[in-house]
Structures are given as structure tokens and as C-alpha cells.
Amino acid sequence: MLGRSAAFAALLALTCWVSPAHADDIDRPTRVGDKPINGSGQVTGATSLSVGFPYHEYTASKDGFVRIQMETTNVRASDNGGKAWRPYLRVVSVPNDARRGEAWSTNGQQNDPKTGRAVLVFRVKAGEKFTVIASLAQNFVKKKPDATANYKLIVTEVAQ
Amino acid sequence: MLRSLIRTATLGLVVSACAFGCGVDTEDDDNDSAEDAVRTDQDSLDRPTDTKINLEPGLWHDNKLVPGEGWHVYHFTAKTDGYVAFQMQAPPGHPNLWSYLRIVDKANNSQIWAGVGNKKTNLCDVIVNAEAGKSYDVIVTSQENSLLVGNQRQQTDGPYTVAVSPVDVVFP
């Protein structure tokens, strides 16, 4: 009896160890807490088969406009037949007194065979916060993490 | 594939927006589940009603979305390079017309912008770095229409204004 319980516990532990903590989706993205974006700057990351919809918190540092560019490159050169995965970039405003319920998204394009690129531009006020989701069109279509890629988010603010 | 992506993106964007606090009621009490075929008596994302209007910078167009004609497409050809803002505004507090815009760059066949409106202003604002000579489709609808699937009947009935305006911004 004890042996069977121990075997079950071991199997459960193994299952937990080999399974991803969770599989996220576009409605439940995964926060990348250690890489917030404050004003202009860059962050890098990667999508995986357990985290396909990572998001970074962006806080505007000035009144004006912001441009958020997302670039993707393959983890392995041979992935996706050697072509970079098409990015999927979404920005959602964190509600405040003056602003709520806004979102922008783009499926981007394959800029060249090795790089995918997506761009969003919108108005900001200093202190406003946004959720920036860096995913792939492939993940979006499949509604789950389905491809892996490296990504870079380049945030450029212009005062107005 | 692109149409599928667009449709999926539309639904996903709205669902996501709701998840982040927009609070759109996705229930449709008038849904006729007995019908299986796609409705042909109303327009849709794939079959928007062509207004045949070319938007000119600074000129606003007033129009109305009604059940059956809830997707309007306008056209814009940039005369110069530079950022432009596509804007759609509907009456704040309107019960079934929450502004929604899609800007499609047909030449690249892969670039799609989407925006959902600010609930307090019901103003949707999508900024695009336009290229001289390039044509864009400007698709106007409501969040409510963009959520419909299958045979659900359009409910949106209300006025809106659409325009394109140059934006004086230069990024380094």
C-alpha cells in the first residue's frame, strides 16, 4: 500500500515537473515582472511553449506619443522554414480616471526572411500605464503557445 | 488565412479588451440558434458595405450604422509620407455603438491595426505611418458587431463620424 502511494506521489511530482506551470493565452497573458518599461527603452525576451503571450508593463514618462516596435527572430535558424515568425503585438490601456477600455493590436509582417516586425503608435500622458503583449501571429491563430521566438520591444517616446 | 486571422484578431481583441475591464456585454438575446448558415441579409467583416468615399485629411464624414449595415469601409490614399490619425467617434453612452476601427494596408496584405474606443469619449484613435501613394481600407464598425458570430443579428443602430487627420510627430 505504502509502495503504491509512494509511486503515485512520485508520478504526480514527475508530472508537475515536466508540465509547464500553465499555458497562457491572449486573454490571460503572462506578466514578465522583472522587465517593466519606463519611458523610452528596450526589453528582450522569448516566447516558449509554456509562455506564448508574455506581457510587459509600460509606464509613459511624458505627454506625447509613443511608438512601440516589436521585432522577432527565430530561436533556431531552421524554425518556420527559415522565416521569422510573424509577430503579434497588442497594447491595452490600464484604466484610469481619464482613460479606459482602449486596445490596439497588429499582426505585423515579416520584414525580411529573418526578422518579423510590428509597430503601434498611440498618444500617452505621463504616468499612464499600459499592458504590452508580445506574441506571435501563430500563437494567436492557434489560441495557445505554439511557436518559439526571440523578441525585442523598442519603445520610443516623443514629447508633444 | 488572412481573413481568418482578421476575424480571429477582431474577436480576440474585443474579448481581451473586455478582460481588461471594458465591460462589454457579449450576450445576444436575439440570437437565432436555429439558423446554421451565415446570414446573407447583413454585411460583415468579410463583406463590409463600401461607402465609396475617399477620406481626405481634415474632412469629417457623418454616417450611421444600422442593423444589416453595420460594417462600413472607407478608403484613404496618402498623398505624402507621414503619420495620420484615423478617428471614429460615436455618441458617448450609446447603448450599442462602441466605436471600432480597422485600418488595412492591402499592399502588404499583412499589416492590420485595430483600436477600441475610450468608453468616456467613445472615440477610437488609430495612428498609422502612412506612405505616399499607398491606399488603406478604413473599416468602421462597433464593438458589438465585431463580437457577433455565426447568425447573430446586428443590433448596432446609431450615428458616427469618421475622419483622417495628419499628426505632427517625428520619431528619431
Q: At B14, which CATH number? A: 2.60.120.380
- Assigned domain for B41 exists: no
Which helix (H) or strand (E) segment holds residue B118: the answer is none
pLDDT one-digit tens code per residue, B60-112:
999 999 999 999 999 999 999 999 999 999 999 899 999 999 999 877 765 56
Cross-chain residue pair A101–B19, CB shorter than 8 Å: no
**How many CB atoms sit inside 10 A of residue B106's CB?**
12
- Counts for chain A of helices (H) and strands (E), in that order: 2, 11
Percentage of chain B exceeding pLDDT 70: 72
Beta strands in chain B (DSSP E): 49-54, 61-65, 72-77, 82-89, 99-105, 111-116, 123-130, 135-142, 158-166
- Can you give the pLDDT at residue B22? 33
**Which residue of B22, B128, B171 is in closest CB contact with A156?**
B171
Determine how many CB atoms are found less than 10 A away from the CB of residue A72: 31
Chain B neighbors of A90, CB-CB under 8 A: 13, 16
CA distances from B34 to B30, B38, B42 (A): 12, 12, 17
| Domain annotation covers residue B33 | no
Residue B172 with chain A: CB contacts under 8 Å: 156, 158
- Reduced to 3 states (helix: H, G, I; strand: E, B; else coil), residue A148 is coil
- Check B8 against A27: CB less than 8 A apart: no
Angle at A135 between CA A119 and CA A144, to 5 degrees: 150
Put simply, the answer to whether A140 touches B8 (Cβ < 8 Å) is: yes
Distance from CA of A17 to the nearest CA of B (A): 30
Can you give the pLDDT at residue A125?
94
**Residue B130, in any domain of the structure:** yes
Contacts of B21 in chain A (CB under 8 A): 95, 100-101
In sequence order, the 6+-apart residues with CB closer than 8 A to the CB of B63 are: B51, B72, B140, B159, B160, B161, B162
Q: Do A101 and B115 lie within an 8 Å CB cutoff? A: no
Give bridge partners of residue A90 from the DSSP assignment: A105, A133
Model's pTM, two decimal places? 0.81
> Which residue does chain B place closest to A89, by CA atoms?
B113
Contact A101 B113 (CB under 8 A): no
**Whether B77 contacts chain A with CB within 8 A:** no
What pLDDT score was predicted for residue B117?
Answer: 63
Interface confidence: ipTM more than 0.85: no
Among the residues of chain A, which ranges form H helices?
A: 2-18, 137-142
CA distances for B134 relative to A12, B4, B77, B81, B106, angstroms: 58, 24, 6, 9, 9
In the numeric block, which cell numbers belong to residue A5? 502511494
Domain extent, residue B133, equals 4-26+53-166
Q: What is the reported pLDDT for A111?
A: 67
| B 92-121: CB under 8 A from A | 108, 110-120
Q: Which of B6, B136, B14, B105 is nearest to A137 (CA)?
A: B6
Question: Is B148 within a domain?
Answer: yes
Per-residue pLDDT of A105-126, as tens digits, reads 888 777 678 899 999 999 999 9
Percent pLDDT > 70 in chain A is 86
Q: Cell 474606443 identifies what position?
A: B117
Cβ distance of B20 and A137 shorter than 8 Å: no
Q: Is residue B66 part of a domain?
A: yes
pLDDT of B41: 85
Residues of chain B with Cβ-Cβ distance to A86 below 8 Å are 110
Burial A12-48 (b: 16+ CB within 10 A, else e): eeeeeeeeeeebbbbeebbebeeeebeebeebebebe
Residue B80, in any domain of the structure: yes
pLDDT confidence tier of residue A21, bands split at 50, 70 and 90: low
Q: What is the DSSP letter of B14?
A: H
Residue B151 lies in a domain: yes
pLDDT at B26: 29
CA-to-CA distance for B119 and B100, rounded, in angstroms? 11
Residue A78 exposure: Cα atoms within 13 Å on the Cβ side:
0
Residue B43 in any domain: the answer is: no
User: Given an 8 Å threshold on Cβ–Cβ distance, is B127 in contact with A131?
Assistant: no
Q: How many domains does chain B have?
A: 1
